[in-house]
Copies of this chain bind each other. A is one copy, B any other.
Amino acid sequence: MRNRKLGFDYSSDHFEGCPVETTLDVIGGKWKGVLLYHLIDGKKRFNEFRRLYPKITQRMLTLQLRELERDGVIHREVYKQVPPKVEYSLTEFGKTLEPIILHMKEWGEKYKDRMVNIETTLKAED
């Protein structure tokens, strides 16, 4: 994912494999799923993401947004003004991912508690 490179390691034979890999290369980045999820209900500015997800550093936010942009999944709109303003939004292509993201969200909601319990148990073993 983890795991998982930051992204974009499409070495030639990387794609021999199953298509699941293609999809995970796009949405599997450490924060990409989350970013895409928040874009489903509309544009977001850089610092909006930081407020929504304080854990992600400025650097990683930039890197992950850039990769999503390169993959054509999101659009970056820069307003020429002072202070600067940048808005991120899903492209039409990016919107094809919405069903998957929402599906992952539902699964996460259902089984979040279970996963937390597993983690708690494992920590107790230390």
Contact = CB atoms under 8 A, between A and B. Distances in A.
Contacts of A32: 1
A98 to B, nearest CB: 11
B70 A122 contact: yes
Nearest to A28: B1
Per DSSP, chain A at the interface is helix
Interface residues of A, number: 60
Contacts of A105: 18-20, 23
Copies in the assembly, this chain: 2
Given A17-B53, A25-B115, A118-B71, A2 B7 contact: yes
Contact of A107 (B15, B36, B97, B107): B97
A113 B34 CA distance: 25
Contact of A28 (B28, B72, B100, B112): B28
Interface of A: 1-10, 13-15, 17-30, 32-34, 36-38, 53, 55, 70-72, 93, 96-97, 99-101, 103-112, 114-116, 118-119, 122
> Which 5 pairs from chain A and chain B are nearest by CB?
A2-B3, A1-B4, A2-B2, A4-B4, A1-B1
